[in-house]
């Protein structure tokens, strides 16, 4: 692992690190904020998964999450959204290939050799963090935006007992029924739609739900609202009587102005679960 940068940030440290990933068969870069409390021992961790076209850097610099994580004594992890490098397959469209990993393990060519973002986020990166930083892997929570909100919800429901809480900003909530999903799941996983179900938050909510609190926020003026399909997730959660709060925020769009506005709420929500 190589340190790309470390900067003092709200009494703690915002770092950027690169390492050789066995899951993705390429070098991967991630951001990690450690609050001041990490100098005295392991702290709980909140994962932030970013959306289409993003790298580790977008939320790290735009979301304002470090302010509130420092206040709560929580570490923040900002993984990349896909594998990178000259040998990694790509597509001319922004919503497939580099920057669009969709947090799945691809089984189809040309994606299968590198696009294993589920294993990277679920297994490889947590192990790396636990070995090298003051991170308490017994206290984890997860959040994300758009494609990352999809990833946060599916990882939380797909790994029972791993995360104490899950939240999402404008998640792609029903990808198997959306053009933001059918295209990518078909490309990465193949035509058998039965294999897509493990990566559809609405279907997972219908089947099993989440064993903890859920929080989602979506803007009423989100320009991608018809692709996100929040109503499908709301209906599935209501049918399950899922513990959670799912909000439509009047006037907000899909941007990081929206994310940063409600970041304090989300960090406080996770802090209650991580320290409760």
Domain ranges of the chain: 2-275
Look at residue 109 and give its three-state secondary structure: coil
Tokens of 255: 């941007």
Q: Is 181 helix (H, G, I), strand (E, B) or coil?
A: helix
Active site residues: 146, 222, 254
Q: What is the pLDDT along the chain (276 residues), one digit of tens a residue?
A: 999 999 999 999 999 999 999 999 999 999 999 999 999 999 999 999 999 999 999 999 999 999 999 999 999 999 999 999 999 999 999 999 999 999 999 999 999 999 999 999 999 999 999 999 999 999 999 999 999 999 999 999 999 999 999 999 999 999 999 999 999 999 999 999 999 999 999 999 999 999 999 999 999 999 999 999 999 999 999 999 999 999 999 999 999 999 999 999 999 999 999 998
- Cα–Cα dist 96/111, whole Å: 10
Instruction: Note the CATH number of domain 2-275.
Output: 3.40.50.1820
CA distance 163 to 133: 19
């Amino acid at each position: 692992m190589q340190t790309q940068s470390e900067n003092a940030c709200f009494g703690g440290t915002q770092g950027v690190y690169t390492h050789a990933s066995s899951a993705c068969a390429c070098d991967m870069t991630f951001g990690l904020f450690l609050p001041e409390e990490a100098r005295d021992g392991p702290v709980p961790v909140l994962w932030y998964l970013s959306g289409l076209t993003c790298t580790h850097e977008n939320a790290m610099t735009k979301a304002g999450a470090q302010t509130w994580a420092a206040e709560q004594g929580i570490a923040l992890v900002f993984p990349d959204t896909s594998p990178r490098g000259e040998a990694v397959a790509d597509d001319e469209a922004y919503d497939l290939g580099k920057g669009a990993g969709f947090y799945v393990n691809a089984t189809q060519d040309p994606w299968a050799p590198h696009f294993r973002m589920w294993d990277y986020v679920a297994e490889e990166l947590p192990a790396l963090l636990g070995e090298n930083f003051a991170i308490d892997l017994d206290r984890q929570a997860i959040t994300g935006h758009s494609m990352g909100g999809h990833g946060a919800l599916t990882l939380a429901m797909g790994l029972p007992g791993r995360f104490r809480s899950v939240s999402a900003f404008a998640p792609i909530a029903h990808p198997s029924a959306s053009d933001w999903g059918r295209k990518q799941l078909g490309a990465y996983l193949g035509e058998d739609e039965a294999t897509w179900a493990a990566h559809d938050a609405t279907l997972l909510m219908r089947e099993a739900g989440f064993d903890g609190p859920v929080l989602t926020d979506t803007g009423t003026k989100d320009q991608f609202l018809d692709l996100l399909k929040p109503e499908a997730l709301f209906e599935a959660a209501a049918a399950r009587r899922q513990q959670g709060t799912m909000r439509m925020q009047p006037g907000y769009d899909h941007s990081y102005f929206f994310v940063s506005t409600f970041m304090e709420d989300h960090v406080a929500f996770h802090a209650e679960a991580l320290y409760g």
